[in-house]
Amino acid sequence: MFRKILIANRGEIALRVICAAKELGIKTVAVYSEADRHSLHVRFADEAVCIGPAKSARSYLDIPSVISAAEITNVDAIHPGYGFLSENADFGEVCETSGIKFIGPKPDVVRAMGFKQHARTAMKKAGIPILPGSVGILKSPEEAIELASEIGYPVILKASAGGGGRGMRIVHASEELAGHLASAQSEAGAAFSCPDVYLEKYIGRPRHIEFQILADQHGNVEVLGERECSIQRRHQKLIEESPSLQVSPELRERIGNTLKKAMAEVGYTNAGTVEFLMDETGSLYFIEVNARVQVEHPVTEFVTGVDIVKSQILIAMGEPLSTVLSGPVEMRGHAIECRINAEHPTTFAPSPGRVTGLNLPGGIGVRVDTAAYTDCVIPPYYDSLVGKLIVHGKDRPEAIARMRRALDTFVIEGIHTSIPLHQRIMADPDFQAGDFDTGYIARFLAK
Ligand code: ADP
Protein backbone atom coordinates (compact mmCIF):
# COMPACT_ATOMS: atom_id res chain seq x y z
CA MET A 1 0.00 0.00 0.00
CA PHE A 2 1.36 3.44 -0.90
CA ARG A 3 1.25 6.03 1.88
CA LYS A 4 2.41 8.97 -0.19
CA ILE A 5 2.99 9.66 -3.90
CA LEU A 6 4.69 12.49 -5.75
CA ILE A 7 3.13 13.90 -8.91
CA ALA A 8 5.79 14.84 -11.45
CA ASN A 9 3.51 17.14 -13.44
CA ARG A 10 1.46 20.32 -13.36
CA GLY A 11 -1.93 21.69 -14.42
CA GLU A 12 -5.11 19.71 -14.79
CA ILE A 13 -3.44 16.28 -14.83
CA ALA A 14 -1.63 16.96 -11.55
CA LEU A 15 -5.02 17.82 -10.01
CA ARG A 16 -6.54 14.70 -11.57
CA VAL A 17 -3.93 12.52 -9.85
CA ILE A 18 -4.48 14.34 -6.54
CA CYS A 19 -8.22 13.50 -6.81
CA ALA A 20 -7.48 9.80 -7.37
CA ALA A 21 -4.96 9.67 -4.51
CA LYS A 22 -7.31 11.45 -2.08
CA GLU A 23 -10.06 8.92 -2.82
CA LEU A 24 -7.61 6.12 -2.08
CA GLY A 25 -6.49 7.76 1.18
CA ILE A 26 -2.96 8.37 -0.16
CA LYS A 27 -1.05 11.58 0.66
CA THR A 28 0.31 13.64 -2.24
CA VAL A 29 3.39 15.74 -2.96
CA ALA A 30 3.26 18.38 -5.71
CA VAL A 31 6.36 19.64 -7.48
CA TYR A 32 6.32 23.04 -9.15
CA SER A 33 8.41 25.48 -11.11
CA GLU A 34 8.80 29.09 -10.04
CA ALA A 35 6.16 30.03 -12.64
CA ASP A 36 3.61 27.69 -10.99
CA ARG A 37 4.00 28.89 -7.40
CA HIS A 38 0.32 29.91 -7.27
CA SER A 39 -1.07 26.84 -9.05
CA LEU A 40 -3.91 24.76 -7.68
CA HIS A 41 -1.90 21.52 -7.66
CA VAL A 42 0.48 23.20 -5.22
CA ARG A 43 -2.41 24.31 -3.05
CA PHE A 44 -4.33 21.03 -2.99
CA ALA A 45 -1.45 18.57 -2.52
CA ASP A 46 -0.48 17.73 1.05
CA GLU A 47 3.09 18.93 0.46
CA ALA A 48 4.78 20.89 -2.31
CA VAL A 49 8.38 21.28 -3.41
CA CYS A 50 9.76 23.90 -5.79
CA ILE A 51 12.02 22.11 -8.27
CA GLY A 52 13.42 24.94 -10.34
CA PRO A 53 12.84 27.82 -12.73
CA ALA A 54 10.00 28.19 -15.23
CA LYS A 55 11.74 26.50 -18.14
CA SER A 56 10.68 22.83 -18.03
CA ALA A 57 14.17 21.58 -18.95
CA ARG A 58 15.28 22.94 -15.56
CA SER A 59 12.24 21.88 -13.53
CA TYR A 60 9.57 19.39 -14.72
CA LEU A 61 12.05 17.62 -17.02
CA ASP A 62 14.97 17.72 -14.61
CA ILE A 63 15.28 14.15 -13.30
CA PRO A 64 17.70 14.89 -10.39
CA SER A 65 15.43 17.70 -9.12
CA VAL A 66 12.32 15.52 -9.23
CA ILE A 67 14.08 12.59 -7.55
CA SER A 68 15.51 14.85 -4.82
CA ALA A 69 12.01 16.16 -4.11
CA ALA A 70 10.77 12.56 -3.89
CA GLU A 71 13.59 11.60 -1.50
CA ILE A 72 13.20 14.64 0.74
CA THR A 73 9.47 13.99 1.11
CA ASN A 74 9.95 10.23 1.44
CA VAL A 75 7.32 9.11 -1.09
CA ASP A 76 6.61 5.51 -2.09
CA ALA A 77 5.82 6.20 -5.74
CA ILE A 78 5.79 8.80 -8.52
CA HIS A 79 2.91 9.41 -10.94
CA PRO A 80 4.27 11.11 -14.07
CA GLY A 81 0.97 12.22 -15.66
CA TYR A 82 1.31 12.72 -19.43
CA GLY A 83 4.04 14.59 -21.33
CA PHE A 84 7.18 15.68 -19.41
CA LEU A 85 8.90 12.55 -17.97
CA SER A 86 5.98 10.16 -18.47
CA GLU A 87 7.55 8.20 -21.32
CA ASN A 88 11.17 8.67 -20.30
CA ALA A 89 12.55 5.18 -19.64
CA ASP A 90 15.70 6.62 -17.99
CA PHE A 91 13.48 8.35 -15.44
CA GLY A 92 11.69 5.05 -14.73
CA GLU A 93 15.07 3.41 -14.17
CA VAL A 94 16.26 6.14 -11.79
CA CYS A 95 13.01 5.76 -9.83
CA GLU A 96 13.61 2.01 -9.57
CA THR A 97 17.21 2.35 -8.40
CA SER A 98 16.10 4.97 -5.85
CA GLY A 99 13.55 2.52 -4.45
CA ILE A 100 10.59 4.56 -5.67
CA LYS A 101 7.79 2.87 -7.65
CA PHE A 102 7.17 4.44 -11.05
CA ILE A 103 3.42 4.44 -11.77
CA GLY A 104 3.59 3.18 -15.33
CA PRO A 105 5.01 0.32 -17.37
CA LYS A 106 8.49 -1.09 -16.71
CA PRO A 107 11.33 1.05 -18.14
CA ASP A 108 12.35 -1.51 -20.79
CA VAL A 109 8.75 -1.69 -22.06
CA VAL A 110 8.48 2.13 -22.09
CA ARG A 111 11.73 2.25 -24.05
CA ALA A 112 10.63 -0.40 -26.56
CA MET A 113 7.24 1.29 -27.13
CA GLY A 114 8.88 4.74 -27.34
CA PHE A 115 10.75 3.71 -30.46
CA LYS A 116 7.80 3.42 -32.79
CA GLN A 117 9.77 1.26 -35.14
CA HIS A 118 10.31 -1.34 -32.37
CA ALA A 119 6.67 -1.11 -31.36
CA ARG A 120 5.62 -1.72 -34.97
CA THR A 121 7.74 -4.85 -35.16
CA ALA A 122 6.50 -6.14 -31.80
CA MET A 123 2.83 -5.54 -32.69
CA LYS A 124 3.21 -7.18 -36.09
CA LYS A 125 4.72 -10.23 -34.42
CA ALA A 126 1.74 -10.38 -32.08
CA GLY A 127 -0.74 -10.38 -34.96
CA ILE A 128 -1.76 -6.69 -35.03
CA PRO A 129 -2.03 -5.30 -38.58
CA ILE A 130 0.51 -2.57 -39.39
CA LEU A 131 0.84 -0.36 -42.47
CA PRO A 132 3.25 -1.51 -45.16
CA GLY A 133 6.60 0.21 -44.57
CA SER A 134 10.23 -0.13 -43.55
CA VAL A 135 11.23 -3.06 -41.37
CA GLY A 136 13.93 -1.05 -39.59
CA ILE A 137 15.29 2.48 -39.60
CA LEU A 138 15.96 4.00 -43.03
CA LYS A 139 19.69 3.87 -43.76
CA SER A 140 19.90 5.77 -47.04
CA PRO A 141 17.81 7.81 -49.49
CA GLU A 142 18.29 5.00 -52.05
CA GLU A 143 16.77 2.45 -49.69
CA ALA A 144 13.84 4.80 -49.01
CA ILE A 145 13.22 5.39 -52.72
CA GLU A 146 13.26 1.69 -53.50
CA LEU A 147 10.88 0.87 -50.65
CA ALA A 148 8.50 3.72 -51.50
CA SER A 149 8.23 2.62 -55.11
CA GLU A 150 7.36 -0.91 -53.90
CA ILE A 151 4.66 0.42 -51.52
CA GLY A 152 3.39 3.13 -53.85
CA TYR A 153 3.11 6.90 -53.18
CA PRO A 154 2.13 8.79 -51.10
CA VAL A 155 4.27 7.60 -48.18
CA ILE A 156 4.97 9.21 -44.80
CA LEU A 157 8.36 9.59 -43.11
CA LYS A 158 8.10 9.40 -39.33
CA ALA A 159 10.56 9.91 -36.49
CA SER A 160 11.02 6.68 -34.56
CA ALA A 161 11.24 8.59 -31.26
CA GLY A 162 8.57 11.06 -32.44
CA GLY A 163 5.65 12.65 -30.65
CA GLY A 164 3.34 15.61 -31.04
CA GLY A 165 3.36 15.21 -34.82
CA ARG A 166 6.97 16.41 -35.16
CA GLY A 167 9.46 14.89 -37.59
CA MET A 168 6.74 13.74 -40.02
CA ARG A 169 6.82 14.39 -43.77
CA ILE A 170 4.36 13.29 -46.44
CA VAL A 171 6.08 12.39 -49.69
CA HIS A 172 4.20 12.30 -52.98
CA ALA A 173 6.95 11.46 -55.49
CA SER A 174 10.42 9.91 -55.58
CA GLU A 175 12.21 13.16 -56.45
CA GLU A 176 10.97 14.69 -53.14
CA LEU A 177 12.10 11.77 -50.99
CA ALA A 178 15.80 12.50 -50.38
CA GLY A 179 15.13 16.13 -49.39
CA HIS A 180 12.25 15.25 -47.06
CA LEU A 181 14.28 12.43 -45.51
CA ALA A 182 17.13 14.80 -44.65
CA SER A 183 14.79 17.40 -43.15
CA ALA A 184 12.79 14.79 -41.18
CA GLN A 185 16.05 13.36 -39.80
CA SER A 186 17.38 16.75 -38.73
CA GLU A 187 14.04 17.77 -37.18
CA ALA A 188 13.89 14.44 -35.30
CA GLY A 189 17.49 14.79 -34.17
CA ALA A 190 16.86 18.28 -32.81
CA ALA A 191 13.53 17.47 -31.16
CA PHE A 192 14.14 13.97 -29.77
CA SER A 193 17.96 13.61 -29.77
CA CYS A 194 17.46 10.67 -32.14
CA PRO A 195 17.53 11.21 -35.91
CA ASP A 196 16.08 7.76 -36.76
CA VAL A 197 13.30 7.89 -39.33
CA TYR A 198 11.16 5.14 -40.85
CA LEU A 199 8.66 5.08 -43.66
CA GLU A 200 5.13 3.78 -44.01
CA LYS A 201 2.22 3.97 -46.43
CA TYR A 202 0.36 7.27 -46.13
CA ILE A 203 -3.39 6.83 -45.79
CA GLY A 204 -5.54 9.54 -47.33
CA ARG A 205 -8.43 10.67 -45.12
CA PRO A 206 -7.83 8.28 -42.22
CA ARG A 207 -9.63 8.18 -38.93
CA HIS A 208 -7.59 8.05 -35.75
CA ILE A 209 -9.00 5.40 -33.44
CA GLU A 210 -7.30 4.25 -30.24
CA PHE A 211 -7.93 1.55 -27.66
CA GLN A 212 -7.52 2.03 -23.90
CA ILE A 213 -5.64 -0.76 -22.12
CA LEU A 214 -5.24 -1.63 -18.45
CA ALA A 215 -2.77 -4.40 -17.58
CA ASP A 216 -1.87 -5.64 -14.10
CA GLN A 217 1.45 -7.06 -12.90
CA HIS A 218 0.12 -10.62 -13.05
CA GLY A 219 -0.32 -10.96 -16.82
CA ASN A 220 -3.98 -9.87 -17.06
CA VAL A 221 -4.99 -7.31 -19.68
CA GLU A 222 -8.34 -5.55 -20.11
CA VAL A 223 -9.44 -3.33 -23.00
CA LEU A 224 -11.73 -0.39 -22.11
CA GLY A 225 -13.11 0.14 -25.61
CA GLU A 226 -11.96 2.76 -28.05
CA ARG A 227 -11.82 6.51 -28.61
CA GLU A 228 -12.35 8.37 -31.86
CA CYS A 229 -9.73 11.14 -32.10
CA SER A 230 -9.91 12.23 -35.74
CA ILE A 231 -10.70 15.87 -35.03
CA GLN A 232 -7.11 17.12 -35.06
CA ARG A 233 -5.25 20.21 -36.11
CA ARG A 234 -1.69 19.63 -37.32
CA HIS A 235 -1.77 16.08 -35.90
CA GLN A 236 -2.82 17.43 -32.47
CA LYS A 237 -6.14 16.19 -31.11
CA LEU A 238 -8.86 18.76 -30.39
CA ILE A 239 -12.00 16.66 -29.82
CA GLU A 240 -12.24 13.04 -28.72
CA GLU A 241 -15.21 10.76 -28.23
CA SER A 242 -16.12 7.26 -27.15
CA PRO A 243 -17.34 4.99 -28.61
CA SER A 244 -16.37 5.48 -32.27
CA LEU A 245 -19.24 5.33 -34.74
CA GLN A 246 -16.96 3.30 -37.03
CA VAL A 247 -16.26 0.48 -34.58
CA SER A 248 -18.88 -2.28 -34.55
CA PRO A 249 -19.23 -4.54 -31.51
CA GLU A 250 -17.63 -7.35 -33.59
CA LEU A 251 -14.61 -5.22 -34.58
CA ARG A 252 -14.22 -4.01 -30.97
CA GLU A 253 -14.22 -7.58 -29.71
CA ARG A 254 -11.85 -8.86 -32.41
CA ILE A 255 -9.28 -6.07 -31.98
CA GLY A 256 -9.72 -6.21 -28.19
CA ASN A 257 -8.89 -9.93 -28.07
CA THR A 258 -5.81 -9.52 -30.29
CA LEU A 259 -4.65 -6.56 -28.18
CA LYS A 260 -5.00 -8.52 -24.92
CA LYS A 261 -2.66 -11.14 -26.32
CA ALA A 262 -0.23 -8.62 -27.84
CA MET A 263 0.09 -6.47 -24.72
CA ALA A 264 0.61 -9.53 -22.51
CA GLU A 265 3.32 -10.72 -24.94
CA VAL A 266 5.26 -7.44 -24.75
CA GLY A 267 5.03 -7.50 -20.92
CA TYR A 268 2.94 -4.33 -20.82
CA THR A 269 1.72 -3.19 -17.38
CA ASN A 270 -0.37 -0.26 -16.12
CA ALA A 271 -2.46 2.01 -18.38
CA GLY A 272 -1.69 2.52 -22.04
CA THR A 273 -3.21 3.41 -25.36
CA VAL A 274 -2.78 1.61 -28.66
CA GLU A 275 -3.34 3.98 -31.57
CA PHE A 276 -4.60 2.95 -35.00
CA LEU A 277 -5.50 4.59 -38.28
CA MET A 278 -8.62 3.40 -40.07
CA ASP A 279 -8.66 3.59 -43.86
CA GLU A 280 -11.72 4.19 -46.03
CA THR A 281 -12.51 0.46 -46.17
CA GLY A 282 -12.77 0.32 -42.36
CA SER A 283 -9.50 -1.60 -41.81
CA LEU A 284 -7.44 -0.66 -38.76
CA TYR A 285 -3.64 -0.35 -38.81
CA PHE A 286 -1.45 0.06 -35.73
CA ILE A 287 0.56 3.31 -35.52
CA GLU A 288 1.88 3.63 -31.96
CA VAL A 289 1.57 2.84 -28.26
CA ASN A 290 1.34 5.65 -25.71
CA ALA A 291 2.74 4.19 -22.51
CA ARG A 292 0.98 6.56 -20.10
CA VAL A 293 -2.39 8.07 -19.24
CA GLN A 294 -3.77 10.14 -22.14
CA VAL A 295 -5.23 13.66 -22.08
CA GLU A 296 -8.48 12.17 -23.41
CA HIS A 297 -8.87 9.40 -20.78
CA PRO A 298 -12.04 11.00 -19.26
CA VAL A 299 -14.26 10.01 -22.23
CA THR A 300 -13.43 6.38 -21.50
CA GLU A 301 -14.04 6.94 -17.78
CA PHE A 302 -17.51 8.30 -18.57
CA VAL A 303 -18.61 5.41 -20.81
CA THR A 304 -17.05 2.58 -18.75
CA GLY A 305 -17.37 4.01 -15.23
CA VAL A 306 -13.74 2.97 -14.57
CA ASP A 307 -11.44 5.46 -12.82
CA ILE A 308 -8.32 5.05 -14.96
CA VAL A 309 -5.96 7.06 -12.75
CA LYS A 310 -7.02 5.22 -9.60
CA SER A 311 -6.56 1.98 -11.54
CA GLN A 312 -3.00 3.03 -12.43
CA ILE A 313 -2.15 3.55 -8.75
CA LEU A 314 -3.76 0.27 -7.66
CA ILE A 315 -2.00 -1.67 -10.42
CA ALA A 316 1.35 -0.14 -9.40
CA MET A 317 0.65 -1.35 -5.83
CA GLY A 318 0.35 -4.89 -7.22
CA GLU A 319 -3.45 -5.26 -7.17
CA PRO A 320 -4.85 -7.71 -9.75
CA LEU A 321 -7.30 -6.40 -12.35
CA SER A 322 -10.00 -8.60 -10.82
CA THR A 323 -10.04 -6.32 -7.77
CA VAL A 324 -9.16 -3.07 -9.58
CA LEU A 325 -12.22 -3.47 -11.84
CA SER A 326 -15.55 -4.39 -10.34
CA GLY A 327 -16.72 -6.93 -12.91
CA PRO A 328 -16.65 -6.99 -16.71
CA VAL A 329 -16.12 -3.69 -18.53
CA GLU A 330 -19.24 -2.46 -20.32
CA MET A 331 -19.71 0.68 -22.39
CA ARG A 332 -22.75 2.85 -21.72
CA GLY A 333 -23.89 5.94 -23.62
CA HIS A 334 -21.62 8.35 -25.46
CA ALA A 335 -18.96 10.78 -24.22
CA ILE A 336 -17.24 13.72 -25.95
CA GLU A 337 -14.27 15.84 -24.84
CA CYS A 338 -13.33 19.30 -26.12
CA ARG A 339 -9.80 20.46 -25.35
CA ILE A 340 -9.88 24.09 -24.28
CA ASN A 341 -6.59 25.67 -25.29
CA ALA A 342 -5.29 29.15 -24.53
CA GLU A 343 -5.06 30.15 -28.15
CA HIS A 344 -6.82 32.33 -30.66
CA PRO A 345 -9.79 30.38 -32.11
CA THR A 346 -8.98 31.21 -35.74
CA THR A 347 -5.28 32.14 -35.93
CA PHE A 348 -4.27 29.58 -33.25
CA ALA A 349 -1.71 32.05 -31.88
CA PRO A 350 -0.89 31.18 -28.24
CA SER A 351 -2.75 33.36 -25.76
CA PRO A 352 -1.17 33.12 -22.32
CA GLY A 353 -2.05 35.68 -19.65
CA ARG A 354 -4.30 36.41 -16.69
CA VAL A 355 -7.76 34.85 -16.50
CA THR A 356 -9.85 37.79 -15.32
CA GLY A 357 -13.21 36.01 -15.21
CA LEU A 358 -14.23 32.36 -15.14
CA ASN A 359 -17.49 30.45 -15.19
CA LEU A 360 -17.33 26.68 -15.38
CA PRO A 361 -20.30 24.76 -16.80
CA GLY A 362 -21.94 22.05 -14.69
CA GLY A 363 -25.10 20.04 -14.44
CA ILE A 364 -25.96 16.49 -15.39
CA GLY A 365 -23.37 14.62 -17.45
CA VAL A 366 -20.80 17.44 -17.45
CA ARG A 367 -17.22 17.26 -16.19
CA VAL A 368 -14.54 19.96 -16.31
CA ASP A 369 -10.90 19.05 -15.67
CA THR A 370 -8.96 22.27 -15.22
CA ALA A 371 -6.45 23.96 -12.96
CA ALA A 372 -7.73 27.43 -13.91
CA TYR A 373 -9.33 29.84 -11.40
CA THR A 374 -10.26 33.51 -11.50
CA ASP A 375 -7.08 35.60 -11.49
CA CYS A 376 -4.77 32.71 -12.30
CA VAL A 377 -2.05 33.31 -14.87
CA ILE A 378 -1.62 30.90 -17.80
CA PRO A 379 2.16 30.91 -18.22
CA PRO A 380 3.69 30.98 -21.71
CA TYR A 381 6.20 28.22 -20.96
CA TYR A 382 4.06 25.09 -21.17
CA ASP A 383 1.36 23.36 -23.17
CA SER A 384 -1.57 25.63 -24.09
CA LEU A 385 -4.22 23.29 -22.61
CA VAL A 386 -6.19 25.22 -19.96
CA GLY A 387 -8.89 22.68 -19.42
CA LYS A 388 -11.00 19.86 -20.76
CA LEU A 389 -14.76 19.88 -21.03
CA ILE A 390 -16.20 16.37 -21.10
CA VAL A 391 -19.85 15.40 -21.41
CA HIS A 392 -21.74 12.11 -21.25
CA GLY A 393 -25.16 11.44 -22.77
CA LYS A 394 -27.35 8.43 -23.44
CA ASP A 395 -26.34 8.59 -27.10
CA ARG A 396 -24.24 10.78 -29.43
CA PRO A 397 -27.01 13.33 -30.24
CA GLU A 398 -27.63 13.88 -26.53
CA ALA A 399 -23.88 14.21 -25.89
CA ILE A 400 -23.59 16.85 -28.65
CA ALA A 401 -26.60 18.80 -27.33
CA ARG A 402 -25.10 18.64 -23.85
CA MET A 403 -21.70 19.81 -25.11
CA ARG A 404 -23.33 22.74 -26.92
CA ARG A 405 -25.19 23.96 -23.85
CA ALA A 406 -22.10 23.44 -21.67
CA LEU A 407 -19.87 25.41 -24.08
CA ASP A 408 -22.44 28.23 -24.05
CA THR A 409 -21.96 28.72 -20.31
CA PHE A 410 -18.17 28.17 -20.27
CA VAL A 411 -16.76 31.68 -19.86
CA ILE A 412 -13.03 32.41 -19.72
CA GLU A 413 -12.20 36.12 -19.78
CA GLY A 414 -8.81 37.77 -20.24
CA ILE A 415 -7.34 35.27 -22.71
CA HIS A 416 -8.41 33.81 -26.05
CA THR A 417 -9.51 30.19 -26.03
CA SER A 418 -10.66 27.52 -28.46
CA ILE A 419 -14.23 27.63 -27.04
CA PRO A 420 -15.68 29.53 -30.06
CA LEU A 421 -14.10 27.00 -32.44
CA HIS A 422 -15.68 24.11 -30.52
CA GLN A 423 -19.06 25.86 -30.66
CA ARG A 424 -18.79 26.08 -34.45
CA ILE A 425 -17.73 22.44 -34.81
CA MET A 426 -20.57 21.17 -32.60
CA ALA A 427 -23.03 23.05 -34.85
CA ASP A 428 -21.53 21.63 -38.07
CA PRO A 429 -23.80 19.11 -39.88
CA ASP A 430 -20.77 17.02 -40.97
CA PHE A 431 -19.55 16.68 -37.39
CA GLN A 432 -23.08 15.90 -36.21
CA ALA A 433 -23.41 13.22 -38.89
CA GLY A 434 -20.05 11.71 -37.87
CA ASP A 435 -18.74 12.44 -41.33
CA PHE A 436 -15.08 13.31 -40.70
CA ASP A 437 -11.46 12.16 -40.87
CA THR A 438 -8.14 13.65 -39.74
CA GLY A 439 -8.36 16.28 -42.52
CA TYR A 440 -11.67 17.62 -41.16
CA ILE A 441 -10.32 20.72 -39.35
CA ALA A 442 -8.20 21.89 -42.29
CA ARG A 443 -11.25 21.66 -44.59
CA PHE A 444 -13.57 23.18 -41.95
CA LEU A 445 -11.31 26.21 -41.46
CA ALA A 446 -11.01 26.72 -45.22
CA LYS A 447 -14.82 26.83 -45.65
P1 ADP B 1 2.87 11.48 -32.94
O2 ADP B 1 3.40 10.49 -31.96
O3 ADP B 1 3.91 12.45 -33.41
O4 ADP B 1 1.59 12.13 -32.49
P5 ADP B 1 1.46 9.48 -34.58
O6 ADP B 1 2.14 8.30 -35.15
O7 ADP B 1 0.61 9.25 -33.37
O8 ADP B 1 2.55 10.63 -34.27
O9 ADP B 1 0.58 10.19 -35.67
C10 ADP B 1 -0.12 11.39 -35.40
C11 ADP B 1 -1.10 11.69 -36.50
O12 ADP B 1 -0.41 11.80 -37.76
C13 ADP B 1 -2.17 10.63 -36.72
O14 ADP B 1 -3.26 10.75 -35.85
C15 ADP B 1 -2.55 10.92 -38.17
O16 ADP B 1 -3.39 12.06 -38.24
C17 ADP B 1 -1.21 11.29 -38.82
N18 ADP B 1 -0.55 10.08 -39.41
C19 ADP B 1 0.40 9.31 -38.84
N20 ADP B 1 0.75 8.27 -39.65
C21 ADP B 1 0.00 8.39 -40.77
C22 ADP B 1 -0.15 7.61 -41.98
N23 ADP B 1 0.58 6.52 -42.20
N24 ADP B 1 -1.04 8.03 -42.90
C25 ADP B 1 -1.79 9.14 -42.70
N26 ADP B 1 -1.72 9.92 -41.59
C27 ADP B 1 -0.84 9.55 -40.62
pLDDT tens digits along 123-182: 999 899 999 999 889 999 999 999 999 999 999 999 998 887 788 999 999 999 999 999
What CATH number does domain 4-103 carry, 3.30.470.20, 2.60.120.260, 3.40.50.20, 3.90.180.10?
3.40.50.20
Instruction: Report the 10 Å Cβ neighbour count for 409.
Output: 12
What integer pLDDT is reported at residue 323 of this predicted model? 97
Mutating to test ligand 1, I would choose from 123, 168, 286, 292 the residue with most ligand atoms within 8 A of its C-beta, which is 168
Contacts of 22 (CB under 8 A, 6+ apart): 28
pLDDT tens digits along 347-401: 999 999 999 999 999 999 999 999 999 999 999 999 999 999 999 999 999 999 9
Indicate the average pLDDT of the chain: 96
pLDDT band at 117 (very low <50, low <70, confident <90, very high): confident
pLDDT tens digits along 48-81: 999 999 999 999 999 999 999 999 999 999 999 9
**Residues 291 and 105: beta-carbon distance below 8 Å:** yes
Place domain 132-201 in its CATH homologous superfamily: ATP-grasp fold, A domain (3.30.1490.20)
What integer pLDDT is reported at residue 296 of this predicted model? 98
Residue 39 CA to ligand 1 centre (angstroms): 33
Nearest CA to ligand 1 atom 23: 202
d(CA 54, CA 443): 37
pLDDT band at 445 (very low <50, low <70, confident <90, very high): very high
pLDDT tens digits along 331-358: 999 999 999 999 998 899 999 999 999 9
Closest ligand 1 atom to Cα of 204: 25
Contacts of 238 (CB under 8 A, 6+ apart): 231, 232, 338, 339, 418, 421, 422, 425, 441
Give the predicted TM-score (pTM) of the model.
Answer: 0.96
What CATH number does domain 207-445 carry, 3.50.7.10, 3.30.470.20, 1.10.3720.10, 3.40.50.720?
3.30.470.20
What integer pLDDT is reported at residue 326 of this predicted model? 86
CA nearest 261: which of 149, 126, 137, 361?
Answer: 126
Active-site annotation, residues: 292
Nearest CA to ligand 1 atom 17: 235
What integer pLDDT is reported at residue 90 of this predicted model? 97
Residue 24 CA to ligand 1 centre (angstroms): 36
